[in-house]
Each structure stands twice: as structure tokens, then as C-alpha cells.
Chain A
């Protein structure tokens, strides 16, 4: 599970994340909405320990990410906006590399191909070089890494930007599948539609502060957009 307690980050004079309090339980899909520069990516970077918090704590599965960097990374998975893999290696080889790095149990070609199939890549696609992959296919490798690792938490940054509707829908299905396995998911996105479709909760971030948290089941699509725009007005 993913937890932030009074998480704060300042860059010089700028307050990028302002006393963020957040709890995402296993199986929950939390969508973080906000304009560019609202602090979504910084939040994700804080959970990944790519930057250190100015104050407050970020926790994965109860462990402080700053004090237990390697243990927390073992438990989480990360899919950035651009899933950049090693272009001259195949999808299978990339998966093998990342899962070995993650000390995952699955190691044999068969195991890895099975995982890639779960993520939606055929064996032929898996054996092709990544330089030939579309964005959706690369994202599927990212998902495969998540599955191979057996991650308990998943961090996503703008996952559906640049995906065609079919790919976007596939992605939602995969998310639901992961959520069903008990993975806590934090997704930063602009995609209001996908947030309402896939997410369990939605948070609106503005100037580093979480100004509103809503449960998607209580909302209609129209409502979400109106509430969002209302916040963005000032």
C-alpha cells in the first residue's frame, strides 16, 4: 500500500508538494489529477526516492522510502509516461533484465513469455526488438515487469497519453486485473475519462496541495469535469 504523511517538497522558493496526506490501500486505484506543474510528477518522484522530501514521510508497504530504498523498490513498480527500454534488445530480453534486477522469481523464457502474454504481448511480439514497438507495446512490457516483480504498489505517470482508444481500453483492463490481485495503484493523469472509468478514487492537486478527494462511484463524468474546472479556475 501507498502512504504519504505530511509529505512536503520545496525547490528553493517553490513549494512543489505541500503537506500531502494520502493513503492508497491494496486494490485501490487512485487517480491524481491536476494541471502541469501541480506537483503530480514530483509526488511520484518522492515515492520513488528519486528526490528526497523536505519534510514528511512517503511509505510503501509501511516502509519509509528514504530509509529503506532497496526494500521499497522491491515492492513497487513504476511505469513512466515514456517507457524507454533498451532498443537493441527484444521485449523478452528487456523483461529478463529488469526482472533479474528486481530479483524476481520468474526467470525462464517460458515463465517470462507467459507473463508477457498476461500483459498482452504475443510470443512473436516478445521476440522482436523494442525499436519496433509502439507506445502501447512498450507499456505492456512495463506491466509485465510489474507482474514479474509481484509488486504490491504501482506508480503510473500519464499512462494513457498517446494511446489510441483500443490500447487505452486494453490498459484499463490490465489495471483492473492488477487491482484485482491486490496491487495499490497511484496514477497521475490528465485523462478525466479514464480516471472515472478505471479509478476508485480521484484526487485533484493544485499548487502542490491535494484540494479535493472524491470517490468515483459517487460521480458522473460530467460532474468530475465540472468539479475539476471549478478548482482550476482560480
Chain B
């Protein structure tokens, strides 16, 4: 019976201008978002490919010490000035969600010095772009999809009840529950199918991918299905209250606003109040103070100037060794000071993130955003993992070069080629799956509860 009712509802909806408008807008938005995302992912991949050769632009330059004709390289130059570019390959589903990719860099310059060891160039993205948000598939799923669900569901039964058609139907041997179920089924599929086809289809076709693609795509699908289910449930509960169609529309728009816009803002406010971040300005000043102390304590005269421009006439190799040692000592001291500052920040940030993940339960949009970004591989987790990997690589780089730097040595091309290289190891997929399993289950429970409440409330529906 439900399927028969669903088929009938499909026919009735086909004639509705609102539904046609909604489907058209949805399809256009999805196609545009997928196209933009794919273009971006391709560009990213091209850039990474271009720079993937270790130290790509490196050409041995004439050493500043020793014979001019030799092609050896000063160790400290290779280790620090050039350094190594550790690259983060694009995530398997990055076409679908840009996530934090426009703020966190996908490359880290690694040097052997303790100070500035991980000099991450800021991701250069126009601040307006970051502020405007990205029009990617994740955006469409998180914000547009629920609104469209509300748009096709605000008049589930209201107008039919007001006009009397519902009474005609319920005078037949069918239950209101069956009728509502049939209507819901149609709406769920009308929106879900194009969404899944277009997003997953685009990602699969145009972004050739790693081994993890299909498992991640399945998680993506699960997250979307569950997120949509929550909103369908909300729409159902609101409709069951029995208000008029325009009243339903406004209530649903208000709920959407609450969960998608106002809720996250309030959560951010709460987090900022509970665990305020120490000011970065503070940190900069402290870093400056640390450097100042070290410079005063160390050899001021052999400070930054010598490091950049030692002249050939004034110091010999022994002088260079001395300088290298002094510099290493100074760097160590400063690094320790800075680490303390950095640790304070990271501790607070960690507390903020934990609170955020707890509070995000308050809004399905926040939960879903976390899941979608994590599955797509553009969440802070993956960038953090990249930093950790780069840090351990930095240890290897440093242990290879530091003895040579302290020795003020030069490297032959062979020695240079033997330096360690960086290969990013993705975290195992099971780790991601375990992280997102809980939020997905939570959303599924929410959806189930809402749908149950909806059906229950419909029992008392005023005809």
C-alpha cells in the first residue's frame, strides 16, 4: 500500500511548480559545485606533481668556500636554505570538500635547524575567498540540501488537509501513517538520488583516486543519507503539529537557521568563553623576547648577519665551524622557549576542539561537517597527521645533515642525492572509519527518533 501511495504522490508532485523549481536548483547547484571542486582538485594535483621532485629547483651552485670550479654544495645551504619540500598529496575526495585546505598548507618546508624547523608557508588564499566559504559539494550537502528538504516538505499534508483531499483519502481503508510514509519516501528519493549520482559520480569520473576511494565514498554516502534523514525527520515532526503550510515553511526555515547558522555561532561563542585562545599577538611578542635573549647571550656579532653573508676573506673553516656551533646552540635555546609558547597554544586548541566535538551534537550540521571533511580528507585531522609525519621526517633530515653542518662541510652531489626523502603515509582507513562511525550513528539515532516522534504525532493529527 505504501508503495502504491508513493507512486501516486510522485505523480502529484510532478505537477507541482515548487518541487520542479527545487529539483532544478538542486541539480544546477550540484553540477556547479562538483565542477568547481573537480577543477580545484585537478589544479592541486598538478601543482603537487610539479613540485614532487625532491628539491625541484635545486642546482648545485658554486660553493662559497674552496675552489670555484667545484660543484659541491655547502651543507648548511642544502640543509637549511634549500631544505626539503614535504608535500601532502591531495585527498581522495578533495574534489567534494575543500574543508580546511584553504587555510592549512599542503606543503611544509623542512630544514635541519631546530628553529623554524617546519616553516610552513601560509596557504595563500585571498582572504575574501576564505571568508566567503567555498562552493563545494560539501557546502551544497550541508546547507542547501536541508533547505531543499524543507522546501519540498513544508506542505506534506497541510494543504491537502485544509482543502479536504486528505479526508477523502482517509475515508478509504488506509492509515495516515501509510499515507505519510508514502509521501516521505518520494521526497527522500527525489533529492537523494541526484545528490549521490552527481557528487560521487563526478568524484569518481574526474578525480582518479587512491585505493581508499570507494570505502570513503561509501562513508560519504552513509553520512549524506543519515544527515538527510535527520532533516526529513524534522520536517515530518513539524508537519505533524498541524499548522498551515506557510507556517510550516517559516518554522522549518527558522529551524534551519538555528542549526546551520545560529547554532554554530553560539557554540563558537561558548568555546571562546570557556577556553579563550591566548593571543597570537602575545605569542609573537614572546617569541621575539626569546630570540632577543638568545641573541644577547650568544655571540651577537656573529648573529644573523654572518649566517647569511659570511665573507670569504674574514673567517676560515675553523671560524665557520665555531659559528655553526654557536648558531646551533642559540637555535636550541630559542626552540625550547618557543616550544613552551607553542605548547600552551596547542593545549588550549586541543581543549577547544574537544569541547567543540562535544557541543557539535547540538546541531546535525556541525556533526555532518566534521564527518564529511574527515571522510573527504580535508579535515584538521589529516593536516595534523601531515605535520606529525613531517616532524618525524625533519628528525631524519636533521640527523643526516647536522653533523655535516657543524663540520661546515660541503656535499658532493652523490652525498646530496643520498639525503632522506619524504613519502606521506596516509593514516589507515580504519582509523578514519572509526572516527566517523560514532557521529554517523548518532545522526542515525537522531533521525530514527525524529521519524518515530513524527509518526506518533501524526496519530493525533487534526483532520
- In the complex, A touching B (Cβ < 8 A): yes
Interface residues of A (CB under 8 A from B): 45, 48, 50-51, 69-71, 73-74, 76-78, 80, 82-86, 88-89, 97-98, 100-103
B165 touches A98 (CB 8 A): no
B173 touches A84 (CB 8 A): no
B12 touches A78 (CB 8 A): no
Residues of chain A with a CB closer than 8 A to B165's CB: 84-86
Instruction: Contacts A89-B11, A97-B8 given; indicate if A83 touches B168 (C-beta within 8 A).
Output: yes
- Partner of A50 from the list B1, B11, B170, B175 (CB cut-off 8 Å) is B170
In the assembled complex, the Cα of A119 lies from the Cα of B173 at a distance in Å of 22
Contact flags (1/0) for B162-177 with A, using CB distance below 8 Å? 0111011111111100
B164 touches A88 (CB 8 A): no
CB distance from A108 to the nearest CB of B (A): 17
- Partner of B173 from the list A70, A83, A85 (CB cut-off 8 Å) is A70
CB distance from B22 to the nearest CB of A (A): 18
A101 touches B169 (CB 8 A): yes
Residues of chain B with a CB closer than 8 A to A50's CB: 167, 170, 463
In the assembled complex, the Cα of A50 lies from the Cα of B171 at a distance in Å of 9
Residues of chain A with a CB closer than 8 A to B343's CB: none
Place the interface of chain B in its size category.
20 to 34
Instruction: Contacts A50-B463, A80-B167, A100-B4 given; indicate if A88 touches B12 (C-beta within 8 A).
Output: yes
In the assembled complex, the Cα of A80 lies from the Cα of B8 at a distance in Å of 22
Residues of chain B with a CB closer than 8 A to A88's CB: 12, 15
B164 touches A101 (CB 8 A): no
* Pairs across A and B, CB under 8 Å, 7 listed: A70-B175, A73-B170, A73-B173, A78-B168, A86-B165, A88-B12, A101-B169
CB distance from A95 to the nearest CB of B (A): 12
User: Does more than half of chain B's interface fall in helix, strand or loop, or is it mixed?
Assistant: helix
B163 touches A84 (CB 8 A): yes
In the assembled complex, the Cα of A89 lies from the Cα of B173 at a distance in Å of 21
B12 touches A101 (CB 8 A): no
B173 touches A74 (CB 8 A): yes
Q: Which of A70, A85, A97 has the most CB of B within 10 A?
A: A97
Residues of chain A with a CB closer than 8 A to B174's CB: 70, 73, 101
Residues of chain B with a CB closer than 8 A to A73's CB: 170-174
CB distance from A73 to the nearest CB of B (A): 4
Residues of chain B with a CB closer than 8 A to A74's CB: 173
In the assembled complex, the Cα of A89 lies from the Cα of B8 at a distance in Å of 10
In the assembled complex, the Cα of A158 lies from the Cα of B174 at a distance in Å of 24
A101 touches B173 (CB 8 A): yes
B167 touches A102 (CB 8 A): no
Residues of chain A with a CB closer than 8 A to B5's CB: 101
Residues of chain B with a CB closer than 8 A to A51's CB: 463
In the assembled complex, the Cα of A101 lies from the Cα of B1 at a distance in Å of 8
